[in-house]
Amino acid sequence: MSTYLDHVRVQRRLAPRSLVIYADALLRLQNLAAQSGVALLTLRPHQARRLAAKLHADIELGPRSMALHLSVWRGLYRWLGAERLVELNPFDGLRAPKAAKPLPKALAVDDAVQLANFSGSAIDADRPLDERIEARDRCVVELLYGCGLRVSELVGLDAQAGPASQGWVDMAAAEATVLGKGGKRRSVPVGAAAMAALQQWLSLRGQLARADESALLVGQRGARLGAVQIRASLKARALAAGMPAHVHPHMLRHSFASHILQSSGDLRAVQELLGHAHITTTQIYTQLDFQHLAKIYDAAHPRAKKK
């Protein structure tokens, strides 16, 4: 086992944390094999299935952890096969139970509107409000929620379109062009509230941005704002606004999709707005929409009310 761990450490350059996970998975395999009285170098597929079942029953690992363990075990036997120490990989074809896909978390409509309308003056009462940062952060919320952008797409926006631009906002057309996953460009409409926030920010951007900085959103040092900074400022703003859950950029994208679908019922339109390559990716929001309908039913239908 130690030789295999050295192999993955050197050849695959695994991080220290990943090595700990590998070592733990391999130790569990050794212990399970010893308890079952089977030799690892002569392990057969039916024995491998028993070891996996015992792991699942005794330790009660979830589907993701089970999948990780089986992946490590398959990798071990792949290496043992390459070293001509085993004839077959007993874990080939053995798969963990499918993990249920968690529904994306979205804000309620009222909460999203409350966050968008929130004034940053309440974030830190001991410090005077910097109207430039306030305008920028309001713009961030409006573009994330109003346009359904990914944080990477937001970070990539330039103040003006250019040959090297990943994305930009056409103020005249009220339209944002972004570079999404897979290098795919798409254009999305920018609503009136987001346009107003943009105009306010652009009127102050020059006070922060370096002369040669093309980014639409910049930090206090005048350089392009990063995803980490956006997450931190959004978290602080949401806490100050009294949001009921931790708010991150992708939650606003989920909220955008869910709220558009609730209002329009047009799944294809939501797919285009989000830039999803496949409709199946977008269909997760129909489950959110059903949850919304179920809540209305529970609150309004006489037969659904609790006695």
Residue 47 sits at φ, ψ, to 5 deg, of -70, -35
Q: Which amino acid is at 290?
A: F
Residue of 9, 49, 56, 250 marked catalytic: 250
Catalytic residue among 28, 69, 132, 150: 150
Name the catalytic one among 181, 184, 185, 295: 181
**What is the DSSP code (8-state) at residue 178?**
E
Q: Which residues contact 276 (CB under 8 A, 6 or more apart)?
A: 282
Write the Ramachandran bin of 179: left for phi over 0, alpha for psi from -120 to 50, otherwise beta: beta
How many helices and strands in the chain, by DSSP H and E?
13, 4
74 is catalytic: no
Rounded to whole angstroms, the Cα distance separating 118 from 137 reads 10
Q: Reply yes or no on whether 17 is catalytic.
A: no
The answer to whether residue 181 is catalytic is yes
Per the annotation, the verdict on 259 as an active-site residue is: no
Interatomic CA distance for residues 215 and 167, integer angstroms: 10
The Cα-based distances of 4 to 1, 15, 72 in angstroms read 5, 15, 11
Is the alpha carbon torsion for 303, 265, 268, 138 positive or negative?
negative
CA distances 271 to 84, 142, 243, Å, are 49, 20, 27
| 303 carries an active-site annotation | no
Only one residue has tokens 């659904």, namely 304
Q: How far apart are CA 239 and CA 216, in angstroms?
A: 25
224, 253, 254, 259: which one is catalytic? Answer: 253
Question: Is 250 an active-site residue?
Answer: yes
Which residues are designated catalytic?
150, 181, 250, 253, 276, 285
